[in-house]
Amino acid sequence: MLTVLIYLLVMVAVAAVIYLLASLVFGRGEELAPLAPGATPTTLPPTDITGDDVRGLRFQQVVRGYRMSEVDWALRRLAGELDAARDRIAELEAALTGADAGVTDAEQRAPR
């Protein structure tokens, strides 16, 4: 029984020495400074948001889910990009329709 107790104490002493040595050599690791109040790690590029940007989007988690201000901000940005893309598509379709109409009128006026 005494032998088992001695082995146990030696193992605890060796584990403590290894732990302390590892703590001194490697330290506690780099700690990031806390974010400033109101700051967020959620980012999107200023323009030309791609699908990969949206797939890589991450929000801070709080007690009951995600931080609503970040989600609202991301949705506003995505809605703006979507509206801009749809407006550009409408402009290009209108220009294409106008160009097709101009070609059709020119074909009708051309002598045969």
| Residues linked to residue 62 through DSSP beta bridges, in sequence order | 65
- Asked, for residue 9, whether it belongs to a domain, the answer is no
- Asked, for residue 54, whether it belongs to a domain, the answer is yes
Tally of domains in the chain = 1
CA atoms lying within 13 Å on the CB side of residue 109: 6
Segments forming the whole domain that contains residue 73? 45-112
Reported as a pLDDT band with limits 50, 70 and 90, residue 103 is low
Q: pLDDT tens across 19-62, in order?
A: 999 888 887 776 767 777 777 777 788 878 888 888 888 877 77
- Asked, for residue 49, whether it belongs to a domain, the answer is yes
pTM, two decimals, is: 0.48
Q: pLDDT tens across 61-79, in order?
A: 778 888 888 888 888 888 8
- Asked, for residue 12, whether it belongs to a domain, the answer is no
> d(Cα 69, Cα 59) in Å, to the nearest integer?
10
pLDDT at 34: 74
- Asked, for residue 53, whether it belongs to a domain, the answer is yes
